Structure 1
Amino acid sequence: MADIEVEQRGDVAWIRLNRADRMNAYDRAMGEQLTQAVRDSSGSGVIVITGSGRAFCAGGYLANLADPDPAELRGMFHASLDLFDAIRTSPRPVIAAVNGAAAGGGNELVVACDLAIAARSAKLGQTGPRVGSAPVLGGTNLLAVSVGEKRAKEISMLCRRYTAEQAMELGWLNAVVDDDELEAEVTRWADELLTMSPRYLEISKISSNVWWNACRDNFVSGLGMLVQAIGSDDMREGAAAFMEKRRPQFPGRTPS
């Protein structure tokens, strides 16, 4: 079973994360495969990213945080930035078809895509401080452009879950449809994009990256801080608690 599947539907490339057993959370190798799939699909008119099973993407694979290999984890962090850069610099519009949960880096994947359409049952949110990490690749910075600074801080610091309808109201998504209508709705948006000039769509897209470009130095510095914190007590405890489905007890916190 391939971790990433690519299906060509006419002039639309559908890229599917295919690790339903772990809610499509990606490790370094899977992140690199997804990046390559985006790059290889630049000859299509539109690119769609979606997930298999009940999740869109749960971000980075948390087992890597509970007992981290520093080199491997550093590679996964940077693979995330490479993926988001590939989406933002692709000449083609990239649509997130959010079929289910989009959490942590999976929500940042939604933020990185040009457009986002969600199934009504989908839930979105960040996980960073709850699991011993921080959403430095969109959750703490670029998301604020869509939802406002105060709301972005709420999302990234409190790690709450938001329904698709709530995310739509906040400006996080472009559309929400019934679950069984998701692929048809995404196809309608893709077909409409295919009637436009590819050249001027690319110009419009790259021009719209002004906020992404403004945040990029912050992404890199944030990654540097995450790398320096690899193996910290907070990282190990947060990831272990998540995998064991219990409340984390971070150093300095009194159990309640």
Structure 2
Amino acid sequence: MAFETIKLEQDGFIGKLTIARPEALNALNSQVLDELDKALDEVSANKELRVLIVTGEGRSFVAGADIKEMASLSPIEGKEFGKKGLGVFRKLEKLEIPTIAAVNGFALGGGCELAMSCDFRIANEKATFGQPEVGLGILPGFGGTQRLQRLVGQGWAKYLIYTARNIKAPKALEIGLVQEVLPVDEFEARVDELANIVANNAPIGVKLAKEAINTGAQVDIESAIKIEENLFGLSFATEDQKAGMQAFVNKGKAEFQNK
């Protein structure tokens, strides 16, 4: 379908979802969230895709939720707006295929929460992260209180949320919020390189690994090990497993078919 506030593109096995409201630093309003929701349904239904890159147009990833829209909300309306954002970000987090946040500038509030809903985050050296909500009289409402502590630990999560302090990309790398920081002129090429590396591994193996990690993180270690055991067994039912191991034995390179 046609979108007004986002772009959804495909290049081979790689999908790219771009928040495209550069005049508003890609702030998330209801329309953006609705279009993101529909776009994620399209991504989920597209069996050609093996990786999704999420980024922002212009000099911002996403500068936050749209304060102008939120300013006049009642408590019930505020809860519903938060519920909408939480639902969309959870849908992103639960996509079968791996997702990479390509953070090219401001990732504040809802933008930081969007990035954290992806499987990992690559930033350029101009990226800025933060959860400034308490400075506006609210708290992070699109998953920030939960995902941030899971990524960087409770101490850093509380520090960043309570102080409403923004941090630059090198600090985000230091605390484990992002996995790599690149110079601006190397950033896009590196994101594309990583997406292709992931896409060229066995797609079912990657999907099963994502399921094992995400599901196992929510349960005790004994249950998590059982989840891994079952998914490991399932991987041996795939043609890609046979192709991958045969290629290894023959000192060749497998061409995975996602079967």
TM-score range for the pair, normalised by the shorter chain length: 0.7 to 0.9
Counterpart among 90, 96, 104 of residue 85 in structure 1 = 90
Q: State the match for 1:19 in structure 2.
A: 21
Distance 1:64 1:164 in 2: 28
> Is 1:5 equivalent to 2:7 in the alignment?
yes
**Runs (5+) with no aligned partner, structure 2:** 220-259
Quote the Cα distance in structure 2 between the aligned partners of 1:37 and 1:71: 27
CA shift digits 1:118-163 (9 cap, x unpaired):
0100100001101121114432222122212111101111111111
Alpha carbons of 1:26 and 1:68: their partners in 2 closer, same or farther (altered >3 Å)?
same
- For the residues of structure 2 that align with 1:136 and 1:143, how far apart are their CA atoms? 12
**Following TM superposition, by how much is the alpha carbon of 1:182 offset from its aligned partner in structure 2, in angstroms?**
1.7
What TM-score, normalized to structure 2? 0.77
Alignment of 1:1-256 (within 5 A): 2-42=4-44, 43=46, 44-68=49-73, 73-210=78-215, 213=218
* Structure 1 unmatched ranges of 5 or more: 215-256
C-alpha distance in structure 2 between counterparts of 1:129 and 1:180, whole Å: 34
The amino acid that maps onto 2:106 is A
Which structure has more RCO (C-alpha within 8 Å, separation ≥ 6)? 1
* Structure 2 counterpart SS, 1:142: helix
The percentage of aligned residue pairs carrying the same residue is 32
**Which residue identity is paired with 2:63?**
A
The structure-2 alpha-carbon separation of the partners of 1:9 and 1:184, relative to structure 1 and needing over 3 Å to count, comes to same
Aligned alpha-carbon RMSD (Å): 1.9
Determine if contact 1:38/1:86 at 8 Å carries over to the other structure.
yes
Per-residue deviation, 1:71: 6.2
Q: 1:151 to 1:71 in 2, by over 3 A?
A: closer
Say whether the 8 Å CA contact 1:17–1:24 is kept in structure 2.
yes
SS at match of 2:55: strand
Write the distance in 2 (CA, Å) between the matches of 1:26 and 1:200: 33
Mapped partners of 2:41, 2:187: distance in 1: 24
Q: Do the aligned partners of 1:126 and 1:159 also contact (CA within 8 Å) in 2?
A: yes
The Cα offsets for residues 51-70 of structure 1, whole Å up to 9 and x where unpaired, read as 01111012211012222266
